[in-house]
Structure 1
Amino acid sequence: MPWLQLIIHSNRDQAPAIEDALMDTGAVSVTLQDDADQPILEPALGETPLWDATRITGLYDADVNTDAISLMLLSQLPAAPLQVKWEQLEDKDWEREWMDNFHPIQCGGRLWICPSWKQPPEAAAVNLMLDPGLAFGTGTHPTTFLCLQWLDGQPLAGKTLVDFGCGSGILGIAALLLGADQVVGVDIDPQALLATRDNAARNQLLANAMPVYLPADAPETEVDIMLANILAGPLVELAPLLSRQVRTGGQLCLSGILASQAETVMAAYPDFRFDPVAQKEEWVRLTGLKM
């Protein structure tokens, strides 16, 4: 299906009003992007960050009246000096485009993450067949890769784990395929719970091997390993909950953390003796033993 996109260059203050106006004029989606190479890697708790220079793109059906929409925007936003640009968006099979660029990834000596629609490169390896759906976690992001690499090197036979912020289920399912006894998955997004269930079934795991819960419904039981690949702010805020679910002598594996945030996160977990920090690009993984 052909589409038109309307591009507006704006600033932090005007962006919310422009976003609302685009939706009012019939945009099927609105995307906000950095317009001046100003990365925002993690917002503060409860904050929705915007860049000082923000590029706003509205997506429309190809048969809309572009002149009428431009006039409507100018009338709704008289205080905003708008420079609007219409472009035809190339018609592609976007799902196919994404699938074609997701390739098998080796994470350590034993573990491969393989798209469910591709043949594993090593049939004898531990192959996790993955379709992330709408959830986070394919193994390509440094934080996920660091956690998978750590799991690959652990003796997991008979261990119990919590995968907090399970996303696609990639970490918990990897742990089960590597020998863990049971994993409890927890996520705030119902789509993540659905993706985790689907991926567990895709890897021929029993339904009770990885039960999944919203945080309010999750059981609070002691486990051997706590996995949490989320963000530094939530990791600090959730430290009491995550810490008390790890048995004495158990392990903690945290990621989603920038190198500059490592000390702050470790300080929130005083009951753990941490290993040397592992880093990939600007992201780090923290692992430790509960004393």
Structure 2
Amino acid sequence: MPWLQLTLDAPRHEAQRLSDALEEAGALAVSLEAGDDEPIFEADWNATPPVWQQTRIVALFPEDTDIAQSMAMTASLLGLAEPPSYRTETIADQDWARVWMERWQPMHFGNNLWVVPSWLTPPDPEAVNLILDPGMAFGTGTHATTGMCLDWLAQHSPRGLDVIDFGCGSGILAIAALKLGARSALGTDTDPQALVTARENAERNEVLDRLTLCLPEAVPAGMAADVVLANILAPALVALAPTLIALTKPGGWLILSGILVSQVDEVVAAYAGHIDFEHQQREDWAMLTGQRRATDPLATI
């Protein structure tokens, strides 16, 4: 039979309550997904941001459901004066698990790096295959910001190098570096759930023995790496410039992503005197890549 699909967007901290209320109001299934697969971190480094900032909630109801009544009940359960804004459409009966899985296909980066959902066979078994399912934390490779970082790693072998993934989310960049031969990687994130997800992904990809995961305040004092990647938003990249510079060894690479093209000059200025960046663009997003000057006097953190 056909179904009514209801979709609404909400801040992540409200998403679970909304999901529970929708089920109480008659939804037969509710799924949560990232709104636009956006990078984590906002400008306020002292806050604890969610794994993603905006969540899309998709709920399925029987075709004959009075949606207005169900949403009124949802609002009542949440103590709201009126229901949140939503949109509906009628959709045909389908195998929903199969349809969801079909949305995700292997993604190819550089010459020999693939990101492959666990239910699919890698297109090239001889390539470097990172097994990663869509899930709670940002970073599946679909967003331009993550894709540019993966392309860079695939084209600039980190073999034998130490890598830091700052704002690691799902751990995709640290895990990719390790699969490509990095000696070690450290992933850090302000969200404990992201670290749990990253650990699970690293274990699945058999690189957990070379990966350290921790909150930012637990990064060892004086630590520096050959390659530092930070796929976070521009205001955070500006605020964290001294930290990210210090985490990069003199002569090491710093890769910054999550930057709108219009924000490039502001971010570059924050690192002036320490790193000379080149930048590339994909869609409306830019990635900056550069090496820390070998004679840079900036003290380590």
Q: Secondary structure at the match of 1:172?
A: helix
Larger radius of gyration: 1
- Kindly indicate whether the alpha-carbon contact (under 8 Å) linking 1:255 and 1:286 is maintained by their aligned counterparts in 2: yes
Instruction: Give 1:51-200 correspondences, 5 Å limit.
Output: 77=81, 94-200=96-202
User: Residues 91 and 186 (structure 1 numbering): CA distance in 2 closer, same or farther, change over 3 Å?
Assistant: farther
Residue deviations 1:235-280 (CA, integer Å, cap 9, x gap): 1111111111111111100101111111111111124333431111
SS in 2 for 1:267: helix
Residue 126 of structure 1, CA deviation: 1.3
Aligned partners of 2:40 and 2:170: how far apart in 1? 21
Flag structure 2 segments of 5+ consecutive residues without an equivalent.
24-29, 50-55, 294-301
**Aligned pairs, number:** 264
Q: Identify the range of structure 1 (269-278 vs 164-173) with the bigger mean alpha-carbon deviation.
A: 269-278
Residue identity matched to 1:211: T
**Residue number in structure 2 paired with 1:231:** 233
Q: 1:137 to 1:70 in 2, by over 3 A?
A: closer
- Provide the C-alpha distance between the structure 2 equivalents of 1:83 and 1:239, rounded to a whole number of angstroms: 39
SS in 2 for 1:273: coil
Question: Does the Cα contact within 8 Å between 2:165 and 2:186 map onto a contact in 1?
Answer: yes
**CA RMSD for the aligned pairs?**
4.1
CA apart distance, 1:218: 2.6
Unaligned 5+ runs, structure 1: 9-14, 35-39, 49-55
Question: Once structures 1 and 2 are overlaid, which stretch shifts more, 215-224 or 244-253?
Answer: 215-224
SS in 2 for 1:225: strand
Q: What corresponds to 1:11 in structure 2?
A: none
Instruction: Show the counterpart of 2:219.
Output: 218
Q: TM-score, normalised by structure 2?
A: 0.71
Q: Distance in 1 between matches of 2:134 and 2:68?
A: 40
Residues 228 and 253, structure 1, Cα contact 8 Å, conserved in 2: yes
Residue type at the aligned position of 2:120: K
The code of the aligned residue for 2:100 comes to W
Shift in alpha-carbon separation, 1:66–1:158, aligned structure 2, 3 A: closer
Q: Percent identity?
A: 43
2:241 aligned partner, one-letter code: A
Offset of 1:133 from its aligned partner? 2.3
Secondary structure (helix, strand or coil) at the match of 2:253 reads strand
Does residue 287 of structure 1 match 2:282? no
**The residue matched to 2:142 in structure 1 has which SS?**
coil
Shift of 1:27: 3.5
Q: Which has the higher contact order (CA 8 A, sep 6+)?
A: 2
Residue 70 (structure 1) shift: 7.0
Shift, 1:77, TM fit: 4.5
Q: Work out the CA distance in 1 between the residues paired with 2:174 and 2:85.
A: 48
Distance 2:197 2:186 in 1: 14
Structure 2: how far apart are the matches of 1:85 and 1:244?
47
- 1:27 matched to 2:22? The reply is yes
SS of 2:209's partner is coil
Match of 2:252 in 1: 250
Letter in 2 for 1:267: A
Q: Is the 8 A contact 2:42 2:233 kept in 1?
A: no
Equivalent residue, structure 2, for 1:263: 265
What TM-score results when the alignment is normalised by the length of structure 1? Answer: 0.74
